[in-house]
Every structure is written in structure tokens, then in C-alpha cells.
Structure 1
Amino acid sequence: MQAFLIRRILQLIPTLFIVSVIVFLITRILPGNPAAVMLGPQASAEDIAAYSEKLGLNDPMYQQFFDYLVSLITLDFGNSLSYNQPIIDLILERFPNTIVLAISALIIATIIGVPAGIIAAKKQNTIVDYSVTTLSLIGVSMPIFWLGVMLVLYFSVNLGWLPATGMGSLENGFWDFLSHLILPSLALATIPTAQFARIIRSSMLETISQDYIKTARSKGLKESIVTYKHAFKNALTPLITVMGLQFSMLLGGAVLTETIFSWPGMGLLIIDAIEKRDFVVVQSTVIFIAVIYVVINLIVDILYKVVNPKVNLDSNNGGA
């Protein structure tokens, strides 16, 4: 286990380096001069040139990249060009909001997707199984931006039950916080719910066909005990992997959801920074999310081994 951890941590270095290179190049090819965007349309050419020099935009590309890498290595994210405050403060302010949204979506996906997958496996080749499979396919294919707009139109505009945008505050009561959380969580949970249902269904079908399940039934055990204590326990391992990956994707892929519902998280921060050509914020936030992503994947691998000790984590032998 120790050798595995050391190997995986060392593997993070080239991964994050490649991400940093891609992010740097993308932010530099964005159309528009960041200095001109921030100074506004009435700024003179002399002011734009002076501000570009101040931002280091006139330096050679290799020098800008070197300064960028140094800032990442020293964990000096610098100051936002548009918000005029340390970027680390912006991240620490917005990241908890994204965490709340991602965890809420993951809880909804688990509560709905896992039981649906179990029921579909138990009712294989019936109308229930076909319905769950079809809904799962629709859920995976559902465009989040369209679903978000439809949820707002129906529950906010037509029925007036839930607020359309923003984030509630616990200071105004728990319902204010929860009511603002429901719609974006439902929209974000669509794909994970479908994924969980499909994974659990296929894993359960594979498990319940094993000889030890037949033996358990022959002993006269209740079907619920056979299903949940024996079959589900052994079908849980693939779900842990998918759940970890989905949680990572929720953290990094909440951009559309946060934009539609004006949820003040990391996704909305990235969109605002792109519109303002604040490439420093874009670089730092994307790298931060990339670090969280690879760390979560490492934790998933460890949990995979804890749940199923027979799994070989040695990549040389084809392990996870």
C-alpha cells in the first residue's frame, strides 16, 4: 500500500504539469486583450499599453509561462485582475458552495439510482427493468442546460414553488437554504443517477448469478438478506469507483448548472473570469479543481482496496 501511494503521488506531477500547460495556452489564445477588457471601451491606447506592460502581457511567452509555473509551485496564486483581491480568497469563498452543490447532487443520485438499479436487477426482463434502463439512457443523454431551464420554467415560473436563482442562507432559515438548493441539485444529479442505476444493475446481475448466492438461497435465507447482505455487498465495489469519479466530475463540471441557477460556486467564478479575461483567476481555479480531481481519484483507489482487499493495486500487475 505504501509503495502504491508513493507511486500515485509521483504520477500527479506530470498530470498536473500537462494540465497547467493546457490551461496556460488556452487562456493566452482567448480573443481580446485582458488589459483592454478591464480598462473599458473608453481607455486610450496608451493606457492599454501601460496596463499590458504592468500585467506582463508584453513579456515573451516562455517568460510568462515560467512565472506562471513558479507561482504554482510556490502556491502564490496572486491577485485577481478584475476582483482586485487575492485569488486564494476567491477560491476559499466559492469552493464550499460548489462542495455543497456536488454533495447534494451525489446524495440524490445515490438515493434514487442505487435502489433503481437493485430493483431493475431483481426484476430483470420485466417492464420495471426496461423502464429503469430507458430512463437511465435518457438521463445520461439529457443536456443539463436544457433540463435546468425546464426546471426553472416549471417549478419557478409556472408553479412558483421554488426560487429560480441564487443561493439561500441559513441565517434566513433552513427552508431558504434548501429551497435554493433543490433545483440545481436535481439538474446536476441527473447523469450520476443514471450512471449509478446502470452500474448497480449490471453489477447485481453478475453477482446474483454466482454460486454462493444460489447457496444462500438454498439455505432458506430471506430474499432481502440474500439481496442486500450478500449480493449488494459484493456488487458495491464498482459503485465506489464510479461514485468517486462522478463526484470529481460534479466538482469540475458544475459550470453549466451554476451558470443557469446563478449559484456562486467555482463554475460561475470561472465563467465570470473568462468574460472579464481575468486569465489569472481562470488558471488558478482550473488547477485547483484538477488537484482536487486527482486527489479524489487517489482516495477512491484506496477505498477500493479497503472494500475489496483482493484487488491488486500494483499497476505492474494490472491493478487499479
Structure 2
Amino acid sequence: MYRYVFRRCLGALLVMWAVATLVFFMLRVVPGDPFAAMTFDAGDAQSIAALKDKLGYGQPVVVQYGKWLWHAVQGDLGNSIYGSRVPVNGMIAEAFPRTLSLATLSFLLALVIAIPAGLIAATRRNTPLDHGVTLVAFLGLSMPDFWLAILLIIFFAAGLQWLPAIGYAPLSDGFWPWLSHLIIPAVAAGTAFSAIIARMLRSALIEVLQTDYMRTARAKGLGARALLLGQALPNALIPVITVMGIAFALLMSSTVIVENVCAIKGLGRLLIQSILNRDYPAVQGAILVVSAIFVFSNLAVDLLYGLIDPRIRYVK
């Protein structure tokens, strides 16, 4: 087990290094020069070169890469090339808690909706309840998250004035201010994932309920609740957990549209703005964090397999 975790962590670090390396060199290959843009495209070649030297970008690309990688290994992701050259670590530290709060609340909301819906649909197959769950799931998948966010803002914020329309309040300001600012974006971001998880759970449960060992357990007189929750659900969770891990990683990295609609300066919004500005250090740092989220989410999912299903053993 420990050797397996060590190998996976080592592989995760290699993947993150490969992603960081690819992003580093691709940023310098794509058309456009941020240093020319910083001089409003009015500076001559000499002034642009002087600006590059001042910011440390006048050296060969390989030398820049070596210095950036050495500092990144030590936890220093560099400084933004714009304005007062804010440290990238500080930019990510400011944005990450907001995205983490939004992703966690969206994920929990998706599970609260998806698990009961999947159980109901699977145990009442081809009934009006099953068809209703399927219809709602398709509606949830069909609605763009930004459109749903706008509707929720119009109804609950502008109309009823129950919730704030935009912005973010840190948890240090109090639980309700923090939660109230996240309810609308969390519902908008989590609705589609709740539909995906519910459909996946329904399909997995239907398949498990038709197996021979479930028929045997039913014939031995095992109660319906114990049969469903104690036998069927754990065996059906293996493929569902995979989707859950991917869903959480996506929520951590792809809520940029909802963040923009609700004016939350999270990790996704930071990444998009950095890409538009061609802010090399900020893009490299943000993508490194996003890749770490995906890699270690997959690792956590693999480890959960063994906890849920004891039949799964890791190769020594």
C-alpha cells in the first residue's frame, strides 16, 4: 500500500513537471509579446529589450526555465510582470480559498441532490419517479451554468432580495455572510454535476441490483434497506467515485464563468485574466496548481477504491 502511494505521488510530481514545462515553453512560442504591450506597442526594440532585462526576461529561454523551475521547487512561483510585480504566491493564496469554498459547496450540493435522486430512480425503475428524475437530470445538464446563475440572481437577489447578487465574503466575516454569497454560484455550478452523478449512480445501481449475489441476498430475507444501502450502494460506488473525483477537480478549475457572473475573484478567473494579459509567471503558477488538483484528486479516488471495496488490492 505504502509503495503504491509512493509510486503514485512520484508519478504525480512527474506529471506536474511535464505540464509546467510544456506551459512554460508554449507561452513563449505563441504569437504576441506582453512586453511590447506593456509599452503600448510604441516602444522601439531597444526599450523593449531594456524592459525585458529589467524584469529578468532578457536571458535565453532555457536559462529562464532553469531559474523558474529551481524557484518553483522551493515554493516560489515568481512575481507578476505587471504593475507592482505582486508575488504569484500571494495572488494564488488570495484566489484559492474562494474557489475552494465555491467548489466544496457546489460538490456537497451536487451529492445531496444526486445520491437520493439516483437511489430513487434505480429502485423505482421505469416508474413516473424514475422518469421525473431523468427529466430533471437532463434539464440540469442542458442549462448553462452562467444562464442559471443569472436567473438565480434575478429571482433571489434582485427580486426577493434574499441573497446578495455578487461578491464574496470570507469565512472570517461570519458563517452566514460567507454562505449567503456562495449559495447562488454554488447552485449554478453544481446543478450539472448533480445530474451527471445521479445518472451514473442510477445506471450503476441497476446493474448491481441485477447480479446473482444480490438475488441471493434477497432470497435469504435481507431487508430492502440493508440490501440497498449495505450491499448494492457500496458496490455501485466504484464508477461513481471516479466521476465525483473528476467533478470536484473540474469545479476547482472551470468555474470561471460563474465566478465572473458573480464577481468572485477565484482561481479560474485569475487564470483567464493571466492568460489574456500574457502574464507568464501567473499563468505558470495557476496551471501548476490546477494540474496538482487534478492529479491528486485522481490519487484520492484510487485510494478510496480500496476503502469502499475490500476486494481491491494494490499491486506491491
Q: TM-score, normalized by length of structure 2?
A: 0.88
Alpha-carbon shift at residue 302 of structure 1 (Å)? 1.1
Say which is worse superposed, 80-89 or 295-304, in terms of deviation: 80-89
Q: Are the equivalent residues in 2 in contact too, given 1:77–1:87 (CA < 8 A)? A: yes
Determine the C-alpha separation between the residues in 2 that align with 1:252 and 1:182. Answer: 18
Report the Cα distance in structure 1 between the residues aligned to 2:240 and 2:41, rounded to whole angstroms: 56
Cα distance per residue 1:18-43 (max 9 Å; x no partner): 3113322443355543234445x497
1:205 is aligned to 2:206: yes
Structural mapping, 1:293-304, within 5 Å: 293-304=294-305
Bigger shift: residues 274-283 or 147-156: 147-156
- Residue by residue over 1:48-81, the C-alpha shift from the partner in whole angstroms, topping out at 9 and shown as x without a partner, is 4421222344433333333333333333211222
Q: 1:149 to 1:32 in 2, by over 3 A?
A: farther
Residues 48 and 264 from structure 1, CA distance in 2 versus in 1: closer, same or farther, beyond 3 angstroms?
same
Is 1:129 the counterpart of 2:138? The answer is: no
1:254 is the counterpart of 2:255? yes
Change (3 A) 1:180 1:30: farther
Q: 1:75 to 1:296 in 2, by over 3 A?
A: same
Unaligned runs of 5+ in 2: none
Give the number of aligned pairs. Answer: 314
Supply the distance in 2 between the matched residues of 1:99 and 1:81 (Cα, whole angstroms).
26
AA aligned opposite 1:19: V
Quote the offset at 1:173 in angstroms: 4.2
Deviation, 1:286, is 0.8
- Separation in structure 1 between the aligned mates of residue 41 and residue 3 of structure 2, nearest angstrom: 59
Pick closer, same or farther for the CA change 1:165–1:47 going to 2, 3 Å. Answer: farther
Alignment correspondent of 2:234: 233
| Residue 156 (1) aligns with residue 152 (2) | no
Query: What is the Cα deviation at residue 128 of structure 1?
Result: 1.9
Which one is further off, 196-205 or 130-139? 130-139
Deviates further, 105-114 or 270-279? 270-279
Q: Is the 8 Å Cα contact of residues 38 and 276 (structure 1) preserved in structure 2?
A: no
Question: Partner residue of 1:12?
Answer: 12
Q: Assess, with a 3 A threshold, how the Cα gap between structure 1 residues 103 and 50 changes in structure 2: closer, same or farther.
A: same
Deviates more, 1:291-300 or 1:149-158: 149-158
8 Å CA contact 1:304–1:311 kept in 2: the answer is yes
C-alpha spacing 1:80/1:137, structure 2 compared with 1 (3 Å): same
- CA separation of 1:309/1:173 partners in 2, compared to 1, >3 Å: closer, same or farther? closer
CA deviation vs aligned residue, 1:137-187 (integer Å, no higher than 9, x gap)? 343343323333333333333443322211024455433222111011111
Note if 1:62 corresponds to 2:49. no
Q: Deviation digits for residues 204-224 of structure 1, max 9, x if unmatched? A: 111211233333333444322
What do residues 121-150 of structure 1 show as CA deviations (whole Å, max 9, x unaligned)? 011112222222233234334332333333
Q: 1:274 to 1:198 in 2, by over 3 A?
A: same
Aligned partners of 2:146, 2:284: CA distance in 1, in Å?
Answer: 24
In the alignment, the residues of structure 2 paired with residue 282 and residue 172 of structure 1 have an alpha-carbon distance, to the nearest angstrom, of 30
Tell me which residue corresponds to 1:79: 79
Cα distance in 1, alignment partners of residues 31 and 121 from structure 2: 49
User: How big is the shift at 1:113?
Assistant: 0.5
Report the Cα offset of residue 111 of structure 1.
0.2
